[in-house]
Structure 1
Amino acid sequence: MITLTGTPTLTTDRLTLRAPQPQDAPTFIDFYKTDRAQYVGGPKNDKQGWEFFCTELGHWVMRGYGMFVVTYKGDDTPLGIVGHWNPKTWPEQEVGWVIFDPALEGKGIAHEAAKTVIDYTWTTLKWDTIVSYIAYPNTRSIALAERLGAVRDDTAATPGKTYVYRHPRPAA
């Protein structure tokens, strides 16, 4: 197995958040071929999905942080990706989330993983601010951002047709 050296692994009571691995590519590519990917740059064909998966790996190398693959503890099947995203042209660093299988929605996976990543971002990466860019009208993602305590910031620059949700810094 190839690993991204120095990439952290985060855990919750039921989840593992780890670096993307080559064996995750088929699940990632299959998701990006579906209409469910419409709010995160899809749908994409096989070639585009492959290139985007490689971009996920490269983001870790170029930035030192990136999207974690989310799995249940003890099961290495990818459930989605949650983590950091900051292409060169974006106005701010983002924490985002994608759950691959609609049957997994409503089970708290994205919330649990995003909360863990946000906590890690404040305490370890020590970002000054955290936003989530949410394509409209992605109501499920908006609801999650609000459940995480984020507030819509209509004054912030966006990377496209998105809302900006700003996550509150934890109390000292």
Structure 2
Amino acid sequence: MIQVPTIETQRLVMRMPELSDFEPLCAFYASKRAEFVGGQMEPEQVWRHLALEIGHWQMLGYGRWTLVEKETGKAGGIIGLWNPEGWPEPEIGWDLFEGFGGKGYATEAATAARTYAYETLGWKTAISLVDPSNHASRAVAQRMGASRDGDFTHVRMGTLEIWRHMSPDDLASGGMEGYA
């Protein structure tokens, strides 16, 4: 069984998804916020999705973390590394729960996830898939220095924009400085 690392940023703790995340996930997947990540789900489907998030770690050795706000201890989203069957390549993805958007949390946590992917897992590249109508998610990708790299058509989610993150070499040579 893989040991999932806990990552701390200035304002966040990123930890293994767990059963206590079920209720916040149910609220997220019952809300309009779920429209960009496959749509709304009933609690039974959310339970299966939570099991999928946990299982992704076990199957691939990486996955998405539950984002916890240090100040309140509340779960604020699911953010991290994602590459399920049917995906074009490994992704850095972010889903923020209601009340946690607009604070820079997605950029803060996704940047930490990218650092983990590059420095710990040895990834040489990563993408983020963005629904064309999701302007907030596109802005996160841009703040991270990602550039548009075509489209991907998913069987269930339709056409998604591919945003390619800077490589470890580009970041090491100061590439992110222009986006700080």
| TM-score (normalised: structure 1) | 0.91
Paired residue type of 2:80: G
Whether 2:175 is the aligned partner of 1:171: answer no
Paired residue type of 2:68: T
Per the alignment, residue 91 of structure 2 pairs with 94
Task: State the Cα deviation string for residues 35-59 of structure 1 (Å, max 9, x = none).
Answer: 1100011211111111111111111
Choose which of 68, 76, 80 in structure 2 pairs with 1:83.
Answer: 80
- Kept in 1: contact 2:53–2:63 (CA 8 A): yes
Per the alignment, residue 132 of structure 1 pairs with 128
Residues of 1 paired with 2:102 and 2:26: CA distance? 23
Structure 1's unaligned 5+ residue stretches are none
Residues of 2 paired with 1:132 and 1:149: CA distance? 11
Q: How do 1:9-158 residues align onto structure 2 when only pairs under 5 Å count?
A: 9-73=6-70, 75-101=72-98, 103-154=99-150, 157-158=152-153
Structure 1 residue 149 displacement after superposition: 0.3
Residues of 2 paired with 1:55 and 1:7: CA distance? 15
Residues of 1 paired with 2:90 and 2:114: CA distance? 12
3-state DSSP of counterpart to 2:75:
coil
Structure 2's unaligned 5+ residue stretches are 174-180
- Kept in 2: contact 1:14–1:73 (CA 8 A): yes
The sequence identity of aligned pairs, in percent, is: 40
| TM-score (normalised: structure 2) | 0.87
- Kept in 1: contact 2:2–2:61 (CA 8 A): no
The structure 1 segments of at least 4 consecutive aligned residues displaced by more than 4 Å after TM superposition are: none
- Kept in 2: contact 1:90–1:158 (CA 8 A): no
Paired residue type of 2:172: A
- Kept in 2: contact 1:133–1:158 (CA 8 A): no
- Kept in 1: contact 2:152–2:160 (CA 8 A): no
Aligned residues: 167
3-state DSSP of counterpart to 2:4:
coil
Residues of 2 paired with 1:110 and 1:29: CA distance? 20
Paired residue type of 1:150: A
Residues of 2 paired with 1:29 and 1:55: CA distance? 14
70-79 vs 109-118, which deviates more? 70-79
3-state DSSP of counterpart to 1:110:
helix
Instruction: Give the root-mean-square deviation of aligned CA atoms.
Output: 1.6
